[in-house]
Structure 1
Amino acid sequence: MTPTTDRLDTFLGAVAATLPDLTITQDPDLLDPWLTDWRGRFTGRACALASPDSTHQLASLVRLCAAHGVPIVPQGGNSGMSGGATPDVSGEALLLSLRKMNRIHAIDSAARRVTCDAGVVLQTLHEAAEAQDLRFPLTLGGKGSATVGGLISTNAGGTQVLRHGSMRALVLGLEAVLADGQVFSMLTPLKKDNRGFDLKQLLIGSEGTLGIVTAATLKLLPAVAERVVIWAGVPSLHAARKLLLHCEESMGDALEGFEVMPSASLDAVIEHLPGARAPLGEPHAWHVLIEVVADRAGAATLRDGCETTLASAFEAELVEDAVMSANETQAEAFWLLRETVAPAERARGPAVQHDISVPVELMPDFVEETAPLIEAKWPGVEAVAFGHLGDGNIHYHVIAPAATDARLWQEGEGKQISRYVHDLVTRWGGSISAEHGIGQLKRAELARLGDPVALSMLHAVKHALDPKGLLNPGKLI
């Protein structure tokens, strides 16, 4: 036996003796599906897969890991975009599944909050809130697999950040197991609390490198009583930005989503999605999807308000054409077009994807100035931007020339392009990760481009809370 094998065997024996009720396996058939990230970019190995069913059981397991020097890779729905929940290739790490910790403990309708385990799937949370005539105001394409713990650990965004913010704004209380097995418990929300640092915020977005989120108290809102989705055609991204400002002024808090996509993205979706058709009769350079919602108090006047906003937008020549959803079926059809952009793009061939942000007011200039630079520097590629214009977060993808070998291109020109895009984003005062996290995908780029003082602070916090470096090693920093 090698020293590593001997140590891991001793560890697994201690786990079996100390935690006989813990679900843990080394069966390759059970392990393999969780060893590759959602995008298929990273594949690792693990000494075992553990699935605790309570915070107490998890804390005991973490103490054993600390005693035996076994790294831990926490995993929720394995739907992340940056390889943040995939172990390395050494096979020394314990893969930790939180999916059995999936209880919704309480929904307080009067206080509009819910307390639940980290393994609760986002769609399940939506359904539980809706049953109480409430809603959790964060959604994304992977809602059927993404878990609360994963969303908190990556500070997930989605299509409703414009009005409600990312997960940081929605977490009222938090519970987590720290690297030494201690339990940080601050689930009770307080409107005012000045006892030093807001420690829960330190854990939100830390990607499992400072603690393992086990439960949370989350903000809920009244259920949507009326919804209108508008599809508009505009001549440019600058025009879309002007339309956004107009909608914000006219619609106020009713404006919940503002998404953009270029004509090339819509064309790809129409080709890819069976039965899909363009919402507008004529082609437009850019398309805008606007979601406006109201609770019961504002439901009766919502549609009239949308019509007034659109009429004034036409009068101000902010839109070329637009259509309002007549019913919920049409509203969902509009959103399906937006949500199919990424799958349609993947069907076209290899691409490098960038989840970036710049100051909201600079996004139109950034896209219009940088896309030609990239297309000139790498002839044959196509730079495509789509996504959440309202919060300055655009998915900025560069599609490879036709008939390109995907792996060779991504490892060669693709990496050069990503480095160049990140340089541009940094020069414009933006971020190389707006909502998908750093994981292992962007770790080197964060080290290269991050502010030295900020990076030093990140490392200091990591060392203070996880001095042995056992929590999700190789991720973030």
Structure 2
Amino acid sequence: MTAPLSHDRLLATLSERLGLRHVRTDPADLAPHLVESRGLYRGHALAVVAPGTTEDVAFTVRTCAEARVPVVAQGGNTGLVGGGVPFGGIVLSLNRLDRLRAIDPLGASMTVEAGMILADVQAAADAAGMLFPLSWAAEGTARIGGGLATNAGGLAVLAYGNARDLVLGLEVVLADGQIWNGLKALRKNNAGYDLKHLFVGSEGTLGIITAATLKLYPKPLSTCVGFVGLASARSALALFARLRAGADRGLTAFEYMPRFGLEMVLRHGIDVRPPLSGSHAAYALVELSSPRPGSDTRAEMEALLAEAMEAGEVEDAVIGGSAAQDAALWRLRELLPEVQKAEGGSIKHDVSLPLSRLADFLDEASAACEAAMPGLRPCPFGHFGDGNIHFNLTQPVGMEKAEFLSQWGRFNAIVHGIVERMDGSIAAEHGIGLIKRDELARTADPVGLDLMRRLKAALDPHDGLNPGKVVALSDDPPPALPV
């Protein structure tokens, strides 16, 4: 049996194929790839390797597999759960694979490489007179491959679905370096197992996505945004039900914020102003859109909100009168994740609930967490219409941040316990990564967890692709949070 390549020889082999400037080992070059935006974990790696083609990705993965060196794929490195942090091995940057390969407005599809920035994917669709609806706060730096690998959600899930729902086909490099070409742009293809769904949401643990064929939609010709003051989360649910019944698929967003959330935005945000004259217990940002010529979403919004006010579901509301005003209302919601940092530490939960249980969850989980730590400030917000709530907990005023964050596990047990009891999910759109790996092992159906481990062992028997993430094939504990 041939001995595996030494690390020096591995790096030399990769440099010979890819070029020295695409195999970087300088600590300054490595540093941005060793930590995610939250800074919860800091990793280490031999090198950052940046192939320029799918064939070069395959060569890199195959060579690393032969050397028994793990590979962690990265795009924009905008993840939130430690899923892209390397702990040894090679960081495989997909950022050079950034081409638009094809676009077909009639077929409503486009094929892009995994390293294309999400905003550039949106712009390419727009230039062709179409809409690619996947959208979230980091879209100016996030890469489409990472969004697919984590099955990202974002702001348009209510109308268009998660990343998984927008994929027609994939090109994937497997753990042994083989390339699976599944880039068909078909709406119906029942020829065997639907393999693409193995890789969407697998966080780079089963294969590395190098290109994707994506669904496109007609561009909205009329859009209207409203910002609504509400008495409670239950009022928000009643309003959502009314808008969904009245606008049907024209309801493209329904975002929820508590009073504390808006207060933070107004306190710490730049160029923001109160949208309503009074203060309310809860708020909703709602959007109606239509691709139909002659449609008037503003008139539709006014009529539906008037009905809701008459029914006592809405306390106050404002409707944007222009694209700039719509953008200003959206900014109030989009700033919320960022301004939380100014209030100290935040213990974050990305959960989903059946809509019928959502208000009960918010009441029960908020009360339980406040009882566990007096002075704690819950800030549940997010994609209310699809059941996804970012149940974030802001530290008490005056408490040390490190002391607060050290309680993450205790609050996981409280929040996730309620989520489980209400038939929800502990991971709605951010993924599992490292931070929820052991929570998944604790909460998942045992048969389902065994199936996941068997799939991982079958597709990546040497645990060479993003090892230790999502499901573990060994009993090694994940790195501790640095708090």
TM-score (norm 2): 0.95
Of the three residues 437, 461, 475, the one matched with 2:455 is 461
33 and 416 in structure 1: CA distance in 2 versus 1, 3 angstrom threshold: same
After alignment, is 133-142 or 300-309 more displaced? 300-309
Name the CA distance, whole Å, in 2 between partners of 1:159 and 1:104. Answer: 24
Give the drift of 1:324. Answer: 0.9
Please, which runs of 5 or more residues in structure 2 have no aligned partner? 472-483
Partner of 1:53: 52
Residues 1:470 and 2:464 aligned together: yes
Please, which runs of 5 or more residues in structure 1 have no aligned partner? none
Does the 8 A contact of 2:36 with 2:82 survive in 1?
yes
3-state DSSP of counterpart to 1:169: helix
1:311-330 to 2 correspondences below 5 Å: 311-330=306-325
Of the three residues 138, 145, 149, the one matched with 2:141 is 145
Name the CA distance, whole Å, in 2 between partners of 1:299 and 1:382. Answer: 45
Amino acid at match of 1:416: R
Name the CA distance, whole Å, in 1 between partners of 2:251 and 2:145. Answer: 28
258 and 298 in structure 1: CA distance in 2 versus 1, 3 angstrom threshold: farther
Give the drift of 1:383. Answer: 1.7
Aligned residue pairs total 469
Give the drift of 1:131. Answer: 1.1
Name the CA distance, whole Å, in 1 between partners of 2:263 and 2:100. Answer: 42
Name the CA distance, whole Å, in 1 between partners of 2:271 and 2:12. Answer: 56
1:399-414 to 2 correspondences below 5 Å: 399-411=394-406, 413-414=407-408
Name the CA distance, whole Å, in 2 between partners of 1:113 and 1:330. Answer: 31
Name the CA distance, whole Å, in 1 between partners of 2:96 and 2:127. Answer: 22
Name the CA distance, whole Å, in 1 between partners of 2:236 and 2:347. Answer: 25
Partner of 1:421: 415
Partner of 1:393: 388
Does the 8 A contact of 1:22 with 1:57 survive in 2?
no
Name the CA distance, whole Å, in 2 between partners of 1:435 and 1:404. Answer: 30
Give the drift of 1:164. Answer: 0.6
Amino acid at match of 1:441: I
3-state DSSP of counterpart to 2:347: strand
Name the CA distance, whole Å, in 2 between partners of 1:447 and 1:298. Answer: 50
Partner of 2:376: 381
Partner of 1:127: 123
Residues 1:192 and 2:191 aligned together: no
Give the drift of 1:19. Answer: 4.5
Name the CA distance, whole Å, in 2 between partners of 1:322 and 1:274. Answer: 22
3-state DSSP of counterpart to 1:300: coil
Name the CA distance, whole Å, in 1 between partners of 2:321 and 2:33. Answer: 42
Residues 1:29 and 2:28 aligned together: yes
3-state DSSP of counterpart to 1:61: helix
Give the drift of 1:75. Answer: 0.3
Partner of 1:258: 254
Residues 1:74 and 2:73 aligned together: yes
**How well do the aligned residues superpose, as a CA RMSD in angstroms?**
1.5
1:4-403 to 2 correspondences below 5 Å: 7-20=6-19, 23-88=22-87, 92-295=88-291, 297-403=292-398
Name the CA distance, whole Å, in 1 between partners of 2:16 and 2:157. Answer: 46
Amino acid at match of 1:410: L
Give the drift of 1:395. Answer: 0.4
Give the drift of 1:109. Answer: 1.1
Give the drift of 1:14. Answer: 2.7
147 and 302 in structure 1: CA distance in 2 versus 1, 3 angstrom threshold: same
Identity %: 41
Name the CA distance, whole Å, in 1 between partners of 2:82 and 2:411. Answer: 19
1:356-392, Cα deviation, whole Å (9 max, x unpaired): 1111221111101221111012222122211111000
3-state DSSP of counterpart to 1:361: helix
3-state DSSP of counterpart to 2:296: helix
Give the drift of 1:408. Answer: 3.0
Does the 8 A contact of 2:97 with 2:116 survive in 1?
yes
Amino acid at match of 1:233: G
Does the 8 A contact of 2:368 with 2:414 survive in 1?
no
Name the CA distance, whole Å, in 1 between partners of 2:441 and 2:275. Answer: 44
Name the CA distance, whole Å, in 2 between partners of 1:161 and 1:460. Answer: 30
Name the CA distance, whole Å, in 1 between partners of 2:20 and 2:127. Answer: 33
Amino acid at match of 1:238: R
TM-score (norm 1): 0.96
